[in-house]
Structure 1
Amino acid sequence: MERAYTFPLVILLACCLTACIANNMNISTDESALLAFKSRISTDPSNILIKNWSASTPVCVWIGVTCGHRHQRVTALDISSRNLIGNIPSQLGNLSFLVSINLSSNYFYGSLPREMIQLRRLKIIDFGFNSFSGQIPSWFGFLQNLQLLNLRNNSFTGFIPPSLSNISMLQDLDLTLNPLQGKIPEEIGNLHN
């Protein structure tokens, strides 16, 4: 009789252990992505990231990082108004549970990595008041949950991509104070929110 109970108990313990290991691997992925991001920041006047973002501290207590209660994965990144200078690495696209990212009012530069297309849960992107350049990525159109896209006061050039009209949930779009050219695509008028 005892053996009949032992086998299901072993299976249950193995499942719990597998879930714990998988969760740690996932938070490790988030940690690696954020440490790659930190490594691309050349100036941090307050030393906030240098002092706080460390592999010896749990990711979910890092300044500017919020984790979800259910999965203990990074769901929000808000390091706005910190006078940071740097650019965004492709690894940021590995933050698969990210819902909100706010890098506004810093000095981030360069183009936005295509790997950010993987951030399908994103609802808020606030990159206003930085120095991002290049064309506004057409892949924003694949971020179907996006509700706010703020690229105000950067150095984006070229045309507004018509693919932005694919973001059916979009409520706020701010592209002002960028040296853009051409007309606003008619398709943008189809955004009802």
Structure 2
Amino acid sequence: MHLFMARTLTFILLLLSSLLLSPATGDEAAAIEELALLSFKSSLLSHGGSLLTSWNKSSHHCTWQGVVCSHHQDKVVKLLLLSSNLSGIISPSLGNLSFLKILDLNGNHLSGEIPPELGRLSRLRWMNLSSNFLQGKIPVAIGAYMY
């Protein structure tokens, strides 16, 4: 039984590393974005009432409330969840939204630290995390691309 679990875990790790190291196709990129958003949702203790009920696999993530995608590539370019009564932490998975330009989580009840993974967002131009209960320092990498 332990050998089976070890082989299964090894297979999963190899699969994940191959997905992360190889360029993503359109479908793979969409799946990565969807998983990043669902991971963010799962890190929340409160989903803002009915705000995030549309966030499920029954519809494309570009139709979810608060998610704005580019018109021609279907890539998440804005996450606008300001004053949405969200509580919990900011999931590091948001760092996988590689086309994100605007992140607005202002006016919620988010706590914890700002994940350093947000520093991977090279297209991020505007971020508002004010009026939350965040602690610690802003990771240096986050400002590297903003102007």
Q: Same fold (TM over 0.5)?
A: yes
The structure whose Rg is larger is 1
1:43 and 2:46 matched: yes
Root mean square deviation, CA, Å: 1.3
Structure 1 position 56, deviation (Å): 1.2
Structure 1 position 45, deviation (Å): 4.0
Structure 2 equivalent of residue 164 of structure 1: none
- The 5 Å alignment of 1:182-193 reads none
SS in 2 for 1:72: coil
Alignment partner of 1:25 out of 9, 16, 28: 28
Structure 2 equivalent of residue 80 of structure 1: 82
* Structure 1 moving runs of 4+ over 4 Å: none
Alignment partner of 2:107 out of 105, 108, 111: 105
CA distance in 1, matches of 2:37, 2:48: 18
CA distance in 2, matches of 1:45, 1:118: 27
Q: Is the 8 Å Cα contact of residues 76 and 97 (structure 2) preserved in structure 1?
A: yes
- The 5 Å alignment of 1:1-193 reads 22-49=25-52, 51-143=53-145, 146=146, 169=147
Q: Deviations over 1:23-51 (max 9, x none)?
A: 111111100000000001101242211x2
Q: Is the 8 Å Cα contact of residues 119 and 139 (structure 2) preserved in structure 1?
A: no
Letter in 2 for 1:108: L
Aligned residues: 124
Q: Deviations over 1:65-120 (max 9, x none)?
A: 00001211100000111111011111110000000010000001111111111100
SS in 2 for 1:110: strand
Name stretches of at least 5 consecutive residues in structure 1 with no aligned partner.
1-20, 147-168, 170-193
| Structure 1 length-normalised TM | 0.62
Identity percentage over the alignment? 35
Letter in 2 for 1:113: P
Letter in 2 for 1:64: G
